[in-house]
A and B are shown apart, each in its own frame.
Chain A
C-alpha cells in the first residue's frame, strides 16, 4: 500500500511578538519560542487520519534544519506519524534556505521513499511563501491539489476541494500527487500522553542534502528586513463627499 511524506517546519510560535534584529538582517530567533507551523500541523493531522482510515500504510514526517527541528519531528510522531527524517541544514545554509531548496529535497525524498502522496502546509507563517508545494509537484512532474479544505481518496485518484478566491473548486487528480493543507481541512489533534511515550521509540533518520544530490545554494539574497510602518491615527470626516475628497487628495483614488 502507500506511504505519505509530510513536511513539518519549525517556525517562531504564532503568539510571539516578532522583533527585527538591530542589524536588520533578519528577525530575532535566539531564546524565542518555536513550534510546528500551524499549517504543517493540519497536514500531519490529515495524513494520520488517512492512515487511520486505512488509505495509506505509513506516514513519514520530514523536517529540514539544525538539530532543534527534531523536536518538531517528535511532535509529529506524537501526533501519529510512524517515523521521521531529519535533513540536516545549519548555519548560513539554514538562514538562506527557501522553498526552492526544500522542494528539491522533498522531490528527492518522495522518489527515494516511493511516496504516493506528499502533504505540506499551504505556507509557513514565517516567510508566507506559499511555493514549496507547487515547486515540489513541478520538480516531480506530479499533479497538485493546493489550498485543500477537503481530501478524499478514491482508489488511485484523489478528490480535492480547494479554497480559491471565488469560493470552492473541486478537482480530481491521480496519485502520486502533492497536496497542500489549508486552514479548514481539519482540526489537529492534541498529542496524547501515551503517543508521546510511543514517539520516544519511533526512529528519526538523519541525512544531509548532499546525500540526496541537492545543492543548497540560494538564488535569493535578503538585503534588509524592516518593521512594518507604525499604524497612523485615522481622520474622521462628516460626510461621504468629504471622504471622497480626502481620498482623492492623498492619492488613494
Chain B
C-alpha cells in the first residue's frame, strides 16, 4: 500500500505505470495529497454554497451565474487548462474529482462545469491554434463566460455522422446554415464549438468544426426546453441562418470535425461519469441519513435488512463506477488509450445514478416523492446521464467494438 502511494505522489506518468503495471489496486485506494486537497475544497464549496440553493435553482430553472463565477475564481471552470492560459493546470483525475463533488451539491451546476471544461474548452485546447486558445479559452476560465458544444441536430443524435448543418465558403467567410438541437448551456453561453458539413460527398469525413461567438448575427436560439431534470441549465436549439464567421474560426483542419467530436466526447464521457457519480452519491447520502433517523417498527429503518440491502447495493454501484471513472481519467493523464474505459465509466456511473436515485426514493418512501427532500431531484437529475454525451446503448457499442478489437486474431 505504502509503495503504491509513493508511486502516485510522483505524478501522472507514475500513475500511468501504476495502472498498467501493478496488479494491486492500492494505487486507486488513496489519492495523492494534492488531489485530496482539491477534492476537499470542492466538497466544502458544494456543501456550503450549492447544497442550500440547489432546490431553488431546480424549482425556478435558475442558471447559477454567481456560483459559476466563484467556481471560475477557484479554477474549477478550467481545470486542465494550463496556467499560462488562465486555468488551474491540473490533470483529468483532478477534474473528475471536482465535477463529482460539485455535482453532489447541485447536479445542474456540475453539468455546467462539465460542459465548459470537457465539451467547449476540451476541443479548443486539443485542436486549436495558440491564437484561438487565447481568444476562445482564456476568457472562459474565469466563470464570467461559459461555452457550449453543438453537435446534435433534430435529425441526428446518436447518428452524428449525418450532420445536415452546412458550411460553405464565401470569400473570407464561412456561412453556416442549419439547426442544432439539445444544446446545453445555450441560453447562457458566450461561444460555441459547432459542427457543420463542409463536403457532403465525403460523408462523416466532410464535417468540420467551427467557433462561433454568442450572440452573433445569423445565430438565434430556440425556446428553452422544459426538462425533467438539471433544470438550472438551459437546453435549446441553435438556429443558423446565413451565420457568417471569419475563415480563422475553423477549429482544426477541414474535414476533421467528426474526429474532433468523437475525441471530445471520449473525454467528455469521463466528465459526465463524474457528474453521475456526484448525483448517485448525493442520493445515497440522503437515503443513508434517512435510514438512521426514520423509525418504524420500533427502530431506525437502517436496522431492517431490506433497507440495508438497498444501501449496500447503492454503495457498491457508486464505488465500482467511481473506480472505473478514476481509471479512465488516469489512463488519459498517462496518454494511454482510454476510449473503452471512458465508455465503461460513463455507462456504469449513469446506470448507478439512476439506480441510486430510484432506490433512494424507495428508502424514503412517501418522503422521497415530495420536494421537501432532495431525493426526487436526484432521481430527475440522474436520468439525463444515461442519454447525453452518448446514450447507454452507444456506450455498449463502443465498449463491444473496443473489446472485439482486443480479441481479434
User: A197 contacts B73, CB within 8 Å?
Assistant: no
Q: Which of B21-29, B87-95, B309-317, B361-369 contacts A (4 or more CB under 8 A)?
A: B87-95
User: A193 contacts B88, CB within 8 Å?
Assistant: yes
User: B90 contacts A193, CB within 8 Å?
Assistant: yes
User: A197 contacts B88, CB within 8 Å?
Assistant: yes
The one of B34, B45, B79, B98 in contact with A200, judged by C-beta atoms closer than 8 angstroms, is B34
User: A196 contacts B37, CB within 8 Å?
Assistant: yes
Interface size classification for chain A = 10 to 19
User: B37 contacts A199, CB within 8 Å?
Assistant: yes
User: A193 contacts B94, CB within 8 Å?
Assistant: yes
Q: How many residues of B contact A (CB 8 A)?
A: 20
User: A190 contacts B45, CB within 8 Å?
Assistant: yes
User: A78 contacts B83, CB within 8 Å?
Assistant: no
* A177-195 near B? 1/0 per residue, CB < 8 Å: 0000000000000111110
Choose among A35, A78, A197, A199 the residue with the greatest number of B CB atoms under 10 Å from its CB.
A197
B300 to chain A, nearest CB (A): 14
User: A190 contacts B44, CB within 8 Å?
Assistant: yes
Dominant SS among interface residues on chain A: helix
User: A193 contacts B45, CB within 8 Å?
Assistant: no
Query: Which residues in chain B, 44-83, are within 8 Å of chain A measured between CB atoms?
Result: 44-45, 70, 73-76, 79, 83
Taking the complex as formed, is A71 at the interface, i.e. its CB lies under 8 A from any CB of chain B? yes
Nearest opposing residue in chain B for A70, CB measure: B33
* A54-87 near B? 1/0 per residue, CB < 8 Å: 0000000000000000010011001000000000
Query: Which residues in chain A, 211-243, are within 8 Å of chain B measured between CB atoms?
Result: none
User: B73 contacts A192, CB within 8 Å?
Assistant: yes
In the complex, A200→B73 CA distance in Å?
19
A195 to chain B, nearest CB (A): 8
Known contacts: A71-B33, A74-B33, A200-B34. The answer to whether A191 contacts B88 by CB under 8 A is no
Query: Which residues in chain A, 196-212, are within 8 Å of chain B measured between CB atoms?
Result: 196-197, 199-200
Apart from the given pairs A192-B75, A196-B34, 5 other A-B contacts in the complex at a CB distance below 8 Å: A192-B74, A193-B38, A193-B88, A196-B41, A197-B34
Binding site for B on A (CB under 8 A): 35, 71, 74-75, 78, 190-194, 196-197, 199-200
